[in-house]
Amino acid sequence: MAVMRRKSATLMVMLGTMLLGSGCGSFAGHKNTDLGLAHIQSYEYEEAAASFDAAEAAGENARLLYRARGILDQNLGQYDLAVEDFLKSLSATSGIPGDMDFDTNYYLADAYIHLGKYDEATKVYDAILDLRKRDKEAYYMRGMARLNSEDHDGAINDFNKAMSLSPRNYDLRIMIYKALSANGFEEEGKGILEACLNNTDPNMTNYEKGQISYYLGNNADAQSYLELARNERDTEKAPVVLLLGQTGEKQGDYNYAVSVYKTFLAEDPNHPDIYNQLGLCQVSTGDYEGAVNSFEAGLALGSSEYDRALMMNEITAYEYAGNFAQAKTLMEKYRKAYPNDLDAEREEIFLSTR
């Protein structure tokens, strides 16, 4: 493992939302490790473990193998083991750290955060920032770790640095607002969003104005901006439609929201996130059959990013409809794919009594 300037900054951790990492690709001659990663994508965890055992027996690259095992551990909720495996992967690195090592360090920090070890996660981000001083993601994630460890001032400093590195990244500002709000600092978070509108960026799009207005609770303004954005020729429509429908939901106008989602999906059906939101809206109106159809349409698109939410929401729709037998069957499938979901474990116990 490469040694840095500070004793605590041995490069240790990519973001938990990334499953297989970016820029890593498939490594020729490491077929068992690659096969195991493919099994993880298919939620076949026993098969993945067997592939990694075969990789070890075949003497495949330790750096790749331990990293892959750490990813499996995280998917199983075994974060202590994940930490051990990611550290072993990083120890097998020789020379200057590459993109994969930074990616593994992000995974490591994510495992520490799940364990509530925020100081350890912070040290990992320190190490990343020693080498990548303009890494806005690391500043943001370190801010999150500090916020969770009740270091408010340190978190704000990191958030401000991340924002300074991304002066027009409004998604980042919304994430910071959500984090501050969830930790009891909603007014401070709102101040960040209000500054976005008050500074009057001449390049700010109607969609961005709509986003900020939505999170500030100005639903009428949000709806107006988003309707304008929906009719703009060069604007990506899916995120606009998703938020536009939610402005209707927040105001209790579910018919409007359903109409927005269905109109869009009739023209462009390849959006599992919008099928998911449509289904949730239909659950709210008591249209459980329609909700199930929406969730199943989303699942049929095969998007691993949204499968988890779609599966759980379909189970909920069947529960509301009183079809506990089908809900129980689907829950067994869900639990196999996501064994570390403790809320689902409790729900499974509830269904077993129906």
* Average confidence (pLDDT) per 10 residues, the chain, 354 residues: 32 34 47 95 93 95 95 95 96 83 96 96 96 95 96 97 95 97 96 89 91 94 94 91 95 94 96 97 96 97 88 94 92 86 68 63
Asked whether residue 259 is domain-assigned, the answer is no
Let me know if residue 190 belongs to a domain: yes
- Find the DSSP H helices in the chain: 31-41, 45-57, 62-75, 79-91, 99-114, 118-131, 136-148, 152-165, 170-182, 186-198, 206-215, 219-230, 237-250, 254-267, 272-284, 288-299, 304-320, 324-337, 342-351
299 and 330 in a single domain? The answer is yes
d(CA 45, CA 36): 8
Please report the pLDDT score of residue 97 as a whole number.
79
The residues, any chain, with a CB within 8 Å of residue 112's CB and separated by 6 or more, are 13, 79, 83, 118, 120, 121, 124
Single residue among 82, 98, 132 that ends a domain in this structure: 132
Q: Could you tell me if residue 115 is inside a domain? A: yes
Is the pTM value of this prediction over 0.85?
Answer: no
- Angle 205-207-209 from CA coordinates, rounded to 5°: 70
Chosen domain end from 98, 115, 132: 132
Q: Per residue in 59-93, pLDDT tens?
A: 999 999 999 999 999 999 999 999 999 999 999 98
Cα distance between residue 44 and residue 38, in whole Å = 9
DSSP state of 27: -
Residue 264 placed within a domain: no
- How many other β-carbons are positioned within 10 Å of the β-carbon of residue 86? 29
Number of domains within the chain: 3
Q: Final residue of a domain: which of 199, 226, 248?
A: 199
DSSP letter assigned to residue 9: G
What CATH number did the domain enclosing 157 receive? 1.25.40
Please tell me whether residues 9 and 126 are part of one structural domain: yes
The predicted pLDDT at position 238 comes to 95
